[in-house]
Amino acid sequence: MLKSKTKPKTQISAQRKREEISKSLSRLPESFLEQILEYISLLKKQIESEKVDEYGFKFEWEGGLSEMREQFSSVELQHKASEWR
């Protein structure tokens, strides 16, 4: 079987996107650069958060029973959760 010596389209596309981003950044006024850096930082945090979710617990449910705080103690809610399983 012959192996292709060309890069996969996704890598070429990603490189083109990086070049386009670089060109766009060079055209922006300096006053926008701080906002761009903040957005990049936000994206990096989001990526790190997704990596944790892949390997660890997901806490999407966190706070979902907060309205029951007055009705049940945490131990009672643990017992209810056991009943629901």
Q: How do residues 7-45 score in pLDDT, each as one tens digit?
A: 566 677 888 999 999 999 999 999 999 999 999 999 988
pLDDT above 60: residue 2: no
- Taking residues 59-68, report their average pLDDT: 74
Residue-level pLDDT at 36: 92
CB 27 within 8 A of CB 16: no
Q: CA-CA distance, 26 to 29, in Å (whole number)?
A: 8
Cβ burial of 77 (10 Å; 0-12, 13-18, 19+) is middle
